[in-house]
């Protein structure tokens, strides 16, 4: 934890293996702690976390707010529809308004790529200490989702030591709409950093071949990759190629709202070719867990009975793990500016 240096959390391309370890280790401790009701941790007492979601959310927003409250922070929730955005106030002025009210952390979601980064840069330029945490931006990044997926998989493979090492040499298959998925992009950085090989499966319109090189170079503006050895990325077109030997399967929501071009003509056909069912998963050759970041289009990405089969589906587990992961992120960000909460030492 002592090496944590991210003031803002904008993507996972800049995360080192130590960063992943810090988040997973801390989240595992939070997950094991009874921190509801009166037994909240005082770590963020006197701090203000504002959730600025300019795009709809159920899971991310609620779990960030719950995470902040469990660490004793004050929480302010911004709702675009009833805000002064409708009177012409800019997004930056909206953010500055929350900073003026004392926000220590802004959790920002926006449908346009790089809005959280632009806000972070603007606040840095004006000397504000407020940190920005990306709650999902356009097609770019959804770091807290990537981390909760990583933790969920690590915990599945090694419940006693759910750390990055648990992913080493695993074959993780991601199926579906990779092109429009910030979750897939964050998972690619996180999983390959931990030594997993990732197989992307879908039609060329949703899984372009050039995703094989996605993690080969850091994104523009980042000088180097902090991870020395990453797992591989492969692109295949059929589940028959993808699933044999898989250790886990993740399917992604078909993002109809982002499909400005006609990339898919027929949802029934997508389900026939790429929809996951109990029968299809037998291709893996062994029982494997199924993940989905949600929200799910039942009957499209997967059969409804598979989603409800808790011996296979980790979807609710992913939601549950979102809270300790987000507690860990808020805790670590607060610790950049101050001493860590001594009450954590007691939990070992
Ligand atoms: N996975 C995810 O980001 O869900 P929400 O859109 O409900 O936050």
**11 belongs to a structural domain:** no
For residues 243-250, give the mean pLDDT: 98
Distance CA(297)–CA(274), nearest Å, equals: 13
Residue nearest to atom 6 of ligand 1 (CA): 57
Give the DSSP H/E element, type plus range, for residue 172: strand 171-175
Nearest to 251 by CA among 230, 281, 279, 231: 281
Q: Residue 276 in contact with residue 301, Cβ under 8 Å?
A: yes
- The label of the residue with tokens 């909760």 reads 148
- Distance (angstroms) between ligand 1 centre and the Cα of 51 equals 14
CA distance 27 to 204: 37
For residue range 210-228, what is the model confidence (pLDDT) as tens digits? 999 999 999 988 999 999 9
In a domain, 2, yes or no: no
163, 271: one domain = yes
pLDDT of residue 347: 46
Identify whether the C-beta of residue 247 lies closer than 8 Å to the C-beta of residue 194: no
| Residue 98: domain span | 17-141+321-346
Residues 94 and 219 in one domain: no
For residue 329, the CA-to-ligand 1 centroid distance in Å is: 17
CA of 22 to the centre of ligand 1 (A): 23
pLDDT for the residue 8: 97
Q: Do 103 and 144 touch, CB atoms closer than 8 A?
A: no
Query: In testing the pocket of ligand 1, which one of 109, 176, 294, 314 has its CB within 8 Å of the most ligand atoms?
Result: 294
Determine the distance separating the centroid of ligand 1 and the alpha carbon of 296, expressed in angstroms.
10
pLDDT one-digit tens code per residue, 272-320: 999 999 999 999 999 999 999 999 999 889 987 999 999 999 999 999 9
The pLDDT tens digits of the residues spanning 61-106 come to 999 999 999 999 999 999 999 999 999 999 999 999 999 999 999 9
C-alpha 63 – ligand 1 centre gap (Å): 10
Q: Atom of ligand 1 at shortest distance to CA of 109?
A: 8
In this structure, what token pair is assigned to residue 177? 């709409």
Q: Is the dihedral of CA 256, 257, 262, 263 positive or negative?
A: negative
The model's pTM is 0.94
| Domain co-membership, 125 together with 166 | no
Give 348 Cα–ligand 1 centroid separation in angstroms.
Answer: 31
User: Chain centroid to CA 208: how far?
Assistant: 22
Query: What is the structure's pLDDT at 338?
Result: 64
Integer Cα distance of 202 and 252 in angstroms: 11
Whether the CB-CB separation of 131 and 106 falls below 8 Å is answered with: yes
**Do 285 and 156 belong to one domain?**
yes
Residue 28: which H helix or E strand, with range?
helix 17-31
218 shares its domain with 290 = yes
Residues 237 and 107 in one domain: no
120/67 same-domain check: yes
Q: Which residues line ligand 1 (CB under 6 A)?
A: 57-60, 136, 145, 293-295
Domain presence at residue 166: yes
User: Residue 8 falls within a domain, yes or no?
Assistant: no
| CATH number assigned to the domain comprising residue 129 | 3.40.50.1370
Residue nearest to atom 4 of ligand 1 (CA): 59
Ligand 1 centre to CA of 127 (Å) is 31
Pocket test for ligand 1, best of 62, 144, 252, 295 (most atoms within 8 A of CB): 295
User: What average pLDDT does the chain have?
Assistant: 93
């Amino acid at each position: 934890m002592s090496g944590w240096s991210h003031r803002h959390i904008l993507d996972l391309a800049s995360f080192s293996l130590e960063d992943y370890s810090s988040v997973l280790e801390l989240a595992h401790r939070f997950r094991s702690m009874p921190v509801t009701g009166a037994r909240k941790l005082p770590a963020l007492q006197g701090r203000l976390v504002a959730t600025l979601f300019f795009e709809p959310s159920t899971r991310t927003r609620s779990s960030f707010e719950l995470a902040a409250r469990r660490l004793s922070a004050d929480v302010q929730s911004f709702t675009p529809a009833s805000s002064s955005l409708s009177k012409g106030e800019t997004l930056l002025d909206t953010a500055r308004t929350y900073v003026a009210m004392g926000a220590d952390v802004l959790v920002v979601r926006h449908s346009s790529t790089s809005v959280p980064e632009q806000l972070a840069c603007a606040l840095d330029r004006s000397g504000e200490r407020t940190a920005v945490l990306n709650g999902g931006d356009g097609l770019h990044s959804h770091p807290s989702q990537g981390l909760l997926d990583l933790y969920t998989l690590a915990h599945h493979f090694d419940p006693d030591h759910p750390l990055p090492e648990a992913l080493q040499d695993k074959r993780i298959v991601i199926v579906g709409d990779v092109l429009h998925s910030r979750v897939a992009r964050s998972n690619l950085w996180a999983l390959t950093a931990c030594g997993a090989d990732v197989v992307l499966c879908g039609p060329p319109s949703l899984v372009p071949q050039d995703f094989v090189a996605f993690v080969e170079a850091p994104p523009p503006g980042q000088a180097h990759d902090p991870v020395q050895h990453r797992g591989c990325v492969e692109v295949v077109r059929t589940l028959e190629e993808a699933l044999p030997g898989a250790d886990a399967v993740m399917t992604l929501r078909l993002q109809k709202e982002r499909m400005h071009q006609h990339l898919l003509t027929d949802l029934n056909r997508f389900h026939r070719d790429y929809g996951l069912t109990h029968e299809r998963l037998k291709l893996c050759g062994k029982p494997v867990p199924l993940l989905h970041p949600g929200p799910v289009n039942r009957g499209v990405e997967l059969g409804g009975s598979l989603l409800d089969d808790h011996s296979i589906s980790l979807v609710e587990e992913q939601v549950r793990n979102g809270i300790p992961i987000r507690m860990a992120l808020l805790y670590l960000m607060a610790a950049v500016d101050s001493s860590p909460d001594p009450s954590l030492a007691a939990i070992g």
